[in-house]
């Protein structure tokens, strides 16, 4: 494999911070050289609430990844989550100016500039301006209009914004951990890179990355995203319900959920007993497994109803390729079955694919965002475009990264 570029992805989540170091070959293949995962502290529902604790978590994860790979991390693609992430779709239209009336790169750039000139409140920051498709003189469905004859060029863009202060706090933490930011990438779009295939994106699909504190959701049609949101529920809500219902500690509730929990009540018999230690009691006691699973099933049913409402609110009734669930909390037994029942469409659980190297632990749903950040970076490099996604000018990182890599990719 000819060596090309080393990329880093840092997923700063509610329950864990994961740093990955990957090497991209000339053909875009990704090999993981190092990874570090540490429990996160200082975040709540994907948003920084304590700078010092978050910096420590990021620095620890980075240090572990460096030790494993022997590579020093100085810059990274960083995931953004939290309920403050929102999106809108915006069209832009320009007249084609050249002699030949052929669409040139600057026409495309001007159309995108027009599309992104929507009024965005000053407390929001644009993270992505994603090209959804072009129409040339009214002919829709054009993926790349470069070189086509045209009088008028229209672009449809998907713009993802986030709270400026939340972004500043996250950027501050990453910088304090000694890392520069190549690009901030919304978690759901990163996870989509890791778990969706082009056919699903073309047909219409949702990716729901269910983390500890939030669900990162992105809906795709005709190959590109059209709706991006973060829902403020996750695996922690299930754990809390179990702890309250059984009057036990969060640690015990989490263990019960992981080891004995299921969302499919048909698989649980009435007479199964589990022993638990209860708060304030010396002796352990037993609870019936069906009781644990009923609590879990009720909360996850409610979560799927929220998902269903969000999908409907985006203006689509049906996604032919269904809903792809990923993220750490997607590993609950019976989850896909419950999802199919509530959502009335295909549901599958997915983990990252298409990576080599040190991947034993990484091929689990909990690592979709971190692997996706590397794949996002790799695609930005190998596509050779100015950027397949126009990142926010404030970051400026991707341009610097690309300049640095021009020396490596002739």
Are 326 and 209 in the same domain? Answer: yes
Residues 133 and 212 in one domain: no
Q: Give the pLDDT confidence score for residue 359 in this predicted structure.
A: 79
With beta carbons less than 8 A apart as the criterion, state whether 335 and 199 touch: no
CA 109 to mean position of chain CA atoms = 26
112: in domain: yes
Q: If 0-12 CB within 10 Å is exposed, 13-18 middle and 19+ buried, where does residue 275 land?
A: exposed
Residues 6+ apart with CB under 8 A from 310: 217, 229, 231
- Which of 82, 66, 47 shows the shortest CA–CA distance to 8? 66
pLDDT, average across residues 10-23: 96
The dihedrals phi and psi of 347, each to the nearest 5 degrees, come to -135, 130
Examine the domain organization and report whether 211 and 343 are in the same domain: yes
Residues 332 and 279 in one domain: yes
What one-character-per-residue DSSP string does 53-99 give?
HHHHHHHHHHHHHHHHHT----EEEEEE-STT-EEEEEEEEEE--ST
Residue 392 DSSP one-character state? P
Percent of the chain with pLDDT over 70: 91
Gap between the Cα atoms of 262 and 268, Å rounded: 8
Question: Is the predicted pLDDT of residue 245 greater than 70, yes or no?
Answer: yes
Whole-structure pTM value: 0.90
Q: Average pLDDT in the 297-310 region?
A: 97
* CATH number of the structural domain spanning residue 213: 3.30.420.40
Within this chain, do residues 157 and 225 fall inside the same structural domain, yes or no? no
Does residue 364 lie within any of the structural domains?
no
Sign of CA dihedral 263, 11, 60, 172: negative
What is the SS3 assignment for 333?
strand
Domain end (from 349, 368, 390): 349
Last residue of a domain, one of 326, 349, 372: 349
End-to-end CA distance of the chain: 16
Convert the pLDDT of each residue in 270-284 to its tens digit.
Answer: 889 988 766 655 567
pLDDT of residue 136: 94
Is residue 94 included in any domain, yes or no? yes
Query: Domain check: are 309 and 243 in the same one?
Result: yes
Chain CA centroid to CA 403, Å: 26
C-alpha 28/C-alpha 235 separation (Å) is 34
Residues 247, 321, single domain; the answer is yes
> Based on the number of CB atoms within 10 Å of its own CB, is 317 exposed (0-12), middle (13-18) or buried (19 or more)?
exposed
Is residue 102 in some structural domain?
yes
Decide if 49 is inside a domain. Answer: no
At 282 the pLDDT is 54
Write out the H or E segment, with its range, that includes residue 286. Answer: strand 285-288
Residues 355 and 357: their CA atoms lie apart, in Å, by 7
Separation of alpha carbons 212 and 13, rounded Å: 8
Can you give the residue range of the structural domain that contains 321?
A: 197-349
Looking at the fold, whether 280 and 217 belong to one and the same domain comes out as yes
Residue 168 covered by a domain: no
Q: Which of 22-31, 182-191, 229-238, 341-350 has the lowest mean pLDDT?
A: 22-31
**Once rounded to an integer, what is the mean pLDDT over residues 125-153?**
93
Residues 145 and 245 reside in one and the same domain: no
**pLDDT band with cut points at 50, 70 and 90 for residue 148:** very high
Tell me the CATH number at 107. 3.30.1490.110
- 207 and 345 part of one domain: yes
- In this structure, the answer to whether residues 201 and 307 fall within a common structural domain is yes
Q: In this structure, are 118 and 248 located in the same domain?
A: no
- In a domain, residue 171? The reply is no
In a domain, 273, yes or no: yes
Report the domain count for the chain. 2
Please report the pLDDT score of residue 358 as a whole number: 77
pLDDT bin (cut points 50, 70, 90) of residue 107 is very high
Q: Where are the alpha helices (DSSP H) in 227-330?
A: 235-246, 250-260, 289-313
């Amino acid at each position: 494999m000819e060596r090309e570029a080393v990329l880093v992805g840092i997923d700063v989540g509610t329950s864990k911070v994961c740093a990955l170091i990957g090497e991209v070959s000339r053909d875009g293949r990704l090999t993981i050289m190092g990874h570090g995962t540490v429990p996160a502290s200082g975040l709540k529902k994907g948003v920084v609430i304590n700078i010092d604790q978050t910096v420590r978590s990021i620095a620890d994860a980075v240090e572990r990844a460096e030790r494993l790979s022997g590579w020093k991390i100085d810059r990274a693609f960083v995931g953004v989550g939290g309920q403050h992430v929102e999106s809108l779709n915006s069209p832009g239209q320009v007249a084609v100016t050249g002699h030949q009336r052929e669409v040139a790169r600057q026409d495309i750039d001007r159309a995108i500039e027009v599309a992104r000139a929507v009024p965005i409140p000053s407390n929001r920051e644009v993270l992505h301006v994603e090209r959804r498709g072009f129409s040339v003189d009214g002919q829709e469905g054009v993926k790349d209009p470069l070189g086509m004859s045209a009088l008028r060029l229209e672009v449809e863009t998907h713009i993802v914004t986030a709270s400026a202060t939340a972004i500043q706090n996250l950027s501050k933490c990453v910088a304090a951990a000694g890392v520069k930011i190549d690009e901030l990438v919304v978690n759901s779009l990163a996870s989509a890179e890791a778990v969706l295939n082009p056919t699903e994106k073309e047909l219409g699909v949702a990716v729901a990355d269910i983390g500890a504190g939030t669900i990162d959701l992105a809906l795709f049609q005709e190959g590109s995203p059209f709706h991006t949101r973060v829902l403020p529920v996750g695996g922690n809500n299930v754990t809390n319900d179990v702890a309250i219902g059984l009057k036990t500690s969060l640690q015990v509730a989490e263990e019960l959920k992981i080891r004995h929990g299921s969302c499919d009540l048909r698989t649980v018999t009435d007479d199964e007993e589990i022993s638990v230690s209860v708060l304030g009691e010396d002796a352990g006691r037993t609870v019936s497994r069906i009781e644990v699973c009923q609590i879990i099933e009720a909360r996850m049913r409610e979560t799927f109803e929220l998902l269903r409402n969000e999908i409907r609110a985006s203006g689509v009734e049906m996604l032919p390729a269904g809903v792809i669930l990923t993220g750490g909390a997607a590993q609950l037994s019976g989850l896909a079955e419950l999802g199919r029942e509530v959502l009335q469409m295909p549901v599958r659980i997915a983990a990252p694919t298409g990576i080599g190297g040190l991947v034993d632990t990484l091929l689990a749903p909990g690592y979709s965002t971190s692997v996706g950040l590397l794949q996002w970076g790799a695609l930005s490099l190998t596509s050779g475009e100015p950027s397949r996604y126009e990142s926010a000018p404030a970051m400026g990182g991707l341009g610097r990264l690309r300049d640095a890599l021009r020396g490596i990719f002739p």
